[in-house]
A and B are shown apart, each in its own frame.
Chain A
């Protein structure tokens, strides 16, 4: 698959000496959804702002479909749509007008049919003549997405698209984003919600202290780092792991035994464990397996870096 955005050694140092990005390298593949995870102040927004032309890089380069964002900014920016984190809008403007404005600003001829299609896809069509100040926060964010899509970008940056949005609307937003992916739009989103990355992303990038510490396929990441645990509930509580089973990575927690294993390895040792439990004369009432979530993986990654 072709890399549509190539970020090379990107560094952003502010006048006060603070380095928000320290040599970021990142290739984004055409058609994927990549989620950038990171704690507050990690550099997520700075990275997006620099790629989109809002912030000037101190060093390094970014190419969008082969076009350098500085030398060939017209073509590079023409391919990008940006949905910022804050819902800044022109309060007195009407929804449809502000979307048409965005299309014009990006150098495209007025196209009412396309604007209608975009507004309908975001369930905004019946609000097209509302003033922006009359809309709720979630609706405003949809308008920002509509503005970003008005010039038919091939790459869409969503900076925390669901921050401050209620659960139901968040799920709607996910549907919108999935729909865009189906149309072939490459999507880069930053998020605080690991759940969001888990639900949507093809790949996950972790950014911390201005550096990308990891980029990996979401599934591979979860499998590679995801430890599984098997919980065995016992009919009668034991205080410690029985002598006969002490050679296994087992822990006793009151009425249950907890077994940790790597779900990727060829021999998980589960069959042997169950046999030994039976041989030890213990009675099981229930079995549960649990995989660590992306959140746990993320927390452990960021901690390692600290």
Chain B
């Protein structure tokens, strides 16, 4: 294992993050605040409670998930796409590193950034609503797993993308709709029965449900199922990445 390589990539990626630290903090804080103003104050005042939780608090886990998934994906995809785009990828390809080390470096950094932003949003939420976290350890575990698995997905997107439009495509057209339709702002029990069934095909539903359980102790779906879903998603991403590096797909001629 080339630990120095993992460290080098990780530090390099994190230093890019710290160069733009203020942007990294300000934009999630502003957008979260907007969600609270719109959904929490304006609309939420007309919604009593969802499953015994005030609506403002109810949307906190979904909001965190929305940002964390988007941030993990875009950070990881940009991280690996950029060296491809400017040509510095030659160094990674000619270095004595395996796919595992490159992945750990990039995905580790992207997951760290997403985790950081998730924490910032959680702290911002405390300014607006009262939240009690019933299962803090489970909450952290869900957060870390979500950051990691979506960073893995982003890493695949970054390798696949041939231009900047494709880089934006999946987060915009796939992740954001799945998160919005995945019960970020509502409980799926509020949907008509047909849509409840259809929603179960959305993998994000399981993540948000599990994450919400760690906050309030209630969930749309069993927690075990949520864990299984996120483990399965991570495994699929890892297998895809292993295949990519084995064949050199989109990396080596």
* Residues of chain B within 8 A of A76, CB atoms compared: 96
- From A55, A86, A88, A103, give the contact of B253 (CB < 8 A): A55
A36 within 8 A of B: no
Report B's interface with A, CB cutoff 8 A: 2-5, 7-9, 11-12, 15-16, 19, 83, 86-88, 90-97, 248, 252-253
Residues of B within 8 A of A80 (CB): 94
Contact A101 B94 (CB under 8 A): no
Q: Is the CB of B87 within 8 A of A86?
A: yes
Q: In whole angstroms, what is the CA distance A86 to B87 when docked?
A: 8
Do B7 and A104 touch (CB < 8 A)?
yes
22 contacts between A and B (CB under 8 A): A52-B93, A54-B252, A55-B253, A56-B248, A74-B96, A75-B96, A77-B95, A78-B96, A82-B90, A82-B94, A88-B88, A90-B88, A92-B19, A97-B15, A105-B8, A105-B9, A105-B91, A107-B2, A107-B4, A107-B5, A107-B96, A109-B4
Q: How far, in whole Å, are A102 and B4 apart by their CA atoms in the complex?
A: 10
State whether A14 and B86 are in contact (beta carbons under 8 Å apart), knowing that A54-B94, A97-B15 are contacts in the complex.
no
CB distance from B2 to the nearest CB of A (A): 4
A283 proximal to B (CB < 8 A): no
Contacts of A53 in B (CB 8 A): 93-94, 252
Residues of B within 8 A of A120 (CB): none
Name the distance in Å between A180's Cβ and chain B's nearest Cβ.
18
Bound complex: CA A102 to CA B95 (Å)? 9
How far in angstroms is the closest Cβ of chain A from B243? 15
Q: How far is the CA of A88 from the CA of B86 in the complex (A)?
A: 6
CB proximity of A25 to chain B, nearest CB, Å = 21
B19 close to A106 (CB less than 8 A) = no
Q: Is A89 in the interface zone, CB < 8 Å from B?
A: yes
Are A104 and B90 closer than 8 Å at their CB atoms? no
**In the docked arrangement, what's the CA distance between A80 and B83, Å?**
20
Q: Is A108 an interface residue (CB 8 A)?
A: yes
A147 at the interface (CB under 8 A from B): yes
Asked if A147 and B95 sit within 8 Å, CB to CB, the answer is no
In the bound assembly, the distance between CA atoms of A90 and B83 in angstroms comes to 8
A105: chain B residues within 8 A (beta carbon): 4-5, 8-9, 91-92, 95, 97
* Closest A residue by C-beta to B19: A92
Given A52-B94, A107-B3, 12 more A-B residue pairs with CB atoms under 8 Å apart are A49-B253, A54-B93, A73-B96, A74-B96, A80-B94, A82-B90, A88-B88, A90-B86, A91-B86, A101-B8, A108-B4, A109-B4
Minimum C-beta distance from B104 to chain A (A): 13
CB distance from A5 to the nearest CB of B (A): 14
Q: What residues of A have a CB within 8 angstroms of the CB of B15 in the complex?
A: 97
User: Which of B8, B83, B253 contacts A104 (CB under 8 A)?
Assistant: B8
Known: A54-B90, A88-B86, A97-B15. A106 touches B253 (CB 8 A): no
Write the chain A residue with the least CB distance to B86. Answer: A88
Which residues of A lie under 8 Å from residue B92 when comparing CB positions? 105
Which A residue sits closest to B8, measured CB to CB? A104
